Homo-oligomer: A and B are copies of this chain.
Amino acid sequence: MKQLLIASTSTLHSGGYLEYILDALPLHFKNANEIIFIPFARPSGISHDDYTKKAAEAFKKINIKVKGLHEFDNPKEAIKNAKGIFTGGGNTFVLVKALYKFDIIETLKTAINSGTPYLGTSAGSNICGLTMCTTNDMPIVYPPSFKTLGLVPFNINPHYLDPDPTSKHMGETRETRIKEFHQFNTQPVVGLREGSWIEVKGASIQLKGALQARIFEYNNEPYEIETGTYLNELK
């Protein structure tokens, strides 16, 4: 059974790395004493080793070992054999370019669709959608495609941010950007606020965390959903 936690962010302003979601992880990774971390999104250009260390420190609190995917000679085999997979945030363009470079898009899809529990935060959540076209990241490298894993039948916008009515800045609000996305694309977009995550269990897709999420559908006005809402019909 497919099992995913697709989280808006790794870290809340008031907390430590993965702290707000840590309680959900022992159950999610219940059959894993070791998981594989995909460090390729490299926030602030951090090295794969350093980023993996950071993830390992958080998972140590729940007695799960973490090994970086970059430590394996054969990343495809590593993913096939993984008991759990976590992809951290950073830059989605950098992440997706690396996934294509190591040719592991299909391997990841197959493993996760076959039941390997997956956790994504931020960029690691973006790639769960149909495309990475609703990332907030700067396009600092050129990936060979914007197509991502399609583990859910919509796109994710992590770190969703409500418009600031007092702002004098003329850059587009997040809502404007997603509406522009729908001038050229038809799949729904889930705007996940920091502190929210989506839990996928087989065919069930549910909003978790304390906050509402904002749903953008093609040719519809955006609307709010409460935590606990099922998104099984959103496609």
A interface, CB within 8 angstroms of B: 9, 11-14, 42-45, 91, 93-94, 132-142, 145-146, 159, 161, 168-172, 176-181, 183-185, 194
Find A180's partner among B91, B171, B172 (CB 8 Å cutoff): B91
For A184, list chain B residues within 8 Å (CB): 45, 94, 140-141
A-B contact pairs, 23 of them (CB 8 A): A9-B170, A12-B170, A45-B184, A93-B139, A132-B139, A133-B138, A133-B140, A133-B141, A133-B142, A134-B138, A134-B140, A136-B171, A137-B172, A138-B180, A140-B177, A140-B180, A140-B184, A140-B185, A141-B184, A142-B145, A142-B146, A159-B170, A161-B169
- Closest Cβ of chain B to A178, distance in Å, is 8
For A180, list chain B residues within 8 Å (CB): 43-45, 91, 94, 138, 140
- Closest Cβ of chain B to A98, distance in Å, is 12
- Closest Cβ of chain B to A94, distance in Å, is 7
A140, A168, A183 pick with most chain B CB within 10 angstroms: A140
> A93 CA to B94 CA in the complex, in Å?
17
Q: Which residue of B lies closest to A139 (CB)?
A: B133
Report whether over half of chain A's contact residues are helix, strand or loop; otherwise say mixed.
Answer: loop
A94, A138, A141 pick with most chain B CB within 10 angstroms: A138
- Closest Cβ of chain B to A58, distance in Å, is 15
> A172 CA to B123 CA in the complex, in Å?
12
For A11, list chain B residues within 8 Å (CB): 170
Find A139's partner among B13, B146, B168 (CB 8 Å cutoff): B146
> A136 CA to B145 CA in the complex, in Å?
19
For A185, list chain B residues within 8 Å (CB): 140
Asked if A170 and B137 make an inter-chain contact with CB atoms under 8 angstroms apart, the answer reads no
For A134, list chain B residues within 8 Å (CB): 138, 140
For A12, list chain B residues within 8 Å (CB): 170
Find A179's partner among B9, B44, B93 (CB 8 Å cutoff): B44
- Closest Cβ of chain B to A185, distance in Å, is 7
Asked if A139 and B142 make an inter-chain contact with CB atoms under 8 angstroms apart, the answer reads no
